[in-house]
Amino acid sequence: MAMFTAQEGARLEALGRLNFINPFAPERIKLEETILGSSRPASDDVWNMHSGSNGTRAAVRAIGELATHWAKELRKRTGRTGFSATPAEDKLYDAVVIYH
């Protein structure tokens, strides 16, 4: 049984890529769109960890919450009796935990 669906895998791969990219590059915004989909705040088109007086950007907060959710969820999924992850699944699991 797979650790996650293809759609979940694509989102988690994008989350993992955030660990290693220049946060000011346009790729950051594209990755946020992949990770958050339609729930990505439109006001976050320019990357900065903080949004002035509003504190941490909404997208950064949402991605952090998503990473926390997935770190817990993947731990549950891998804890099933007889579960064995593929090397690709291990790589994505590691990426989520690193971001978290």
* Confidence bin at 65 (pLDDT 50/70/90): very high
- The pLDDT score that the predictor gives to residue 45 is 56
> What mean pLDDT, rounded, does the chain reach?
82
Give the predicted TM-score (pTM) of the model. 0.76
* Confidence bin at 29 (pLDDT 50/70/90): confident
For range 63-88, the mean pLDDT? 87
For range 83-94, the mean pLDDT? 87
Q: Yes or no: say if 15 and 96 are a contact pair by the CB < 8 Å rule.
A: yes
Q: Yes or no: say if 3 and 95 are a contact pair by the CB < 8 Å rule.
A: no
- The pLDDT score that the predictor gives to residue 18 is 92
Q: Domain limits of the chain?
A: 6-99
End-to-end CA distance of the chain: 25
